[in-house]
Structure 1
């Protein structure tokens, strides 16, 4: 099968309780998820991301459109479709805190109709893979946040579903445990042949894990592209220029008009100019301004950008047209 998930023209609206005003949360969203990929599904608060996630998981019925999971419509054939997807939503709420680690795994395996004897080899494998073996008889409410999160993901693995959807999988974790969870998620794809959808506000996680990202804002998809493509697009247009002298007032004025988002810092004898070029030929306009007073250029370096900067620029609509043309 070419696509494991097909989201087709989803729409969802709500009415405000007091005013009965209709709010369009999701507006004609379509995308696909391929088997074996790690996809980032992102958006600022109120963008429609959560509604989209809930419709994929079958927790919310769309007003229009459909979601197919492994070819099965999750509205028309809900139970059959949802066999192929597991979700860890809102942290560790899918755990029973007064049961031990192993008891949680045995309980949720039993909920899936799997006997304790049959589930034992998979549970043992998950305990080792998720580094929970030495905590298997510990009550969940005594575990650290990181241990609880790893157990929540292990519980989702018990279903042996094709797709795992994770909402903020590293939220509240210390740096070391956060990296450990990232490595576990990579191994889930590599060793268990699963597909993962991640929703997160931690852009380092998205940059490290995801091959592709979909960004939703104001109910619409504004970007659907590979993470490395987006990084390259912004990197080649972001420059740090070290000047051997100070800019004149006229030069500063022209920079503000032509490049309103530039950053200029100066000390007594030299200055640094940080600038983003919407098009590559804008470099000539920049040099025309520097030539006005023969300002010496000592070095030009491409700025290192991170995915959080890329995300913010896309959400704010900066260079969105140029990105669309380049993809």
Structure 2
């Protein structure tokens, strides 16, 4: 069973423009100029139960708008949505019992009361039994290390502390589907690692489906095997992170640090006839051989170089996920 099914989903907004000058201001009082802007443009995808999917794109690509439609906050202009077997807009009360949502820039906790009081209020909202709450939340609180924070008002928490509490609040009713919209924005490395480990754990323990939107691609690499990439409201890639790297990575870089002096011309003659481009960093005297993704070619370049020069260190660098995605957007590789 798919946790999420989206077919030809579209969301349009009216974008108003103002006329210039005093005369234009008076005209705007009577009639407004506007144009229809599609924030989400006829997208289709499905997410299987238990899958962890990264939903990525530039600012304004339509990520948050999609999440708001999937959670029932916004109504689509057209298309169909099925989440946990329900329509998020028509079965609202029943539907919200089956999802958890964390928006990095919005809070579901009450600002002036203690964290544990917010938890108790949410427990009543979701009609969670005392036994289930105690069993499940004891584990969540310990794993996220928020026990010392329970008596503090939310307004006195740091950003990292609040985000851990927000995540716990979203899981009070142990939903089968979790939406995370920029959950690690502005957090330090240690807090990010704690949240990532926790998300992996609940996915393995409860088979929780997770849809994650973030600009921090290290979160995607750590958690998701599959990514859905948006550009101007359209899906431009839907597949595994591994396949994206294999298909769109622009070769490898082999860095050599030699024990003795070496010359660029010597190395170029050494690999003549091979698809290799040599470069040198004059300051560090590190030589780089730029090759394609052919592992056999990489092996041959290293073997020839090591056989003819005394090598102190060798490093093989592959393009990062961030570089690959940047190239996709810049060059329009769809």
Output the TM-score relative to the length of structure 1.
0.78
1:164 matched to 2:178? The reply is yes
**1-structure distance, mates of 2:255, 2:135:** 59
Q: Find the counterpart in structure 2 of residue 219 from structure 1.
A: 233
The answer as to 2:217 corresponding to 1:203 is yes
Residue 37 (structure 1) aligned with residue 36 (structure 2): no
SS at 2:10 equivalent:
strand
Equivalent residue in structure 2 for 1:230, among 229, 244, 247: 244
Q: Does 1:151 align with 2:172?
A: no
In the alignment, what sits opposite 2:6? Answer: 7
Q: CA deviation at 1:185?
A: 0.9
- Mark the CA change 1:128 to 1:92 in structure 2 (over 3 Å): closer, same or farther: farther
CA RMSD between the two structures: 3.4
Shift of 1:90: 3.1
Number of positions where the alignment pairs a residue of Structure 1 with one of Structure 2: 297
2:189 pairs, out of 164, 175, 183, with: 175
Q: Counterpart of 1:230 in 2: which secondary structure?
A: helix
> 1:266 & 1:129 partners in 2: Cα distance?
46
Q: Where does residue 282 of structure 2 map in the other structure?
A: 267
Q: Which residue of structure 1 lines up, in the alignment, with residue 84 of structure 2?
A: 70
Change (3 A) 1:46 1:265: farther
Q: Paired residue for 2:22?
A: none
Partner of 1:28: 42
Offset, 1:212: 0.7
By how many angstroms is 1:234 displaced?
4.4
CA contact (8 A) 1:95 1:152 kept: yes
Is the 1:236–1:302 Cα contact (8 Å) retained in structure 2? no
Runs (5+) with no aligned partner, structure 2: 18-32, 266-275, 302-307
2:86 is the counterpart of 1:87: no
CA distance in 2, matches of 1:199, 1:155: 19
* 8 Å Cα contact 2:54/2:211 also seen in 1: yes
Confirm or deny: 8 A CA contact 1:211 1:226 kept in the other structure.
yes
SS of the residue corresponding to residue 125 of structure 1 reads helix
SS in 2 for 1:305: coil
Change (3 A) 1:266 1:171: closer
Q: Which has the larger radius of gyration?
A: 2
Number of the residue aligned with 2:16: 17
CA–CA separation in structure 1 for the residues paired with 2:95 and 2:291: 46
Q: How does 1:243-262 map to 2 (within 5 A)?
A: 245-246=263-264
- Is there any run of 5+ residues in structure 1 with no aligned partner, and where? 248-258, 288-296, 322-327
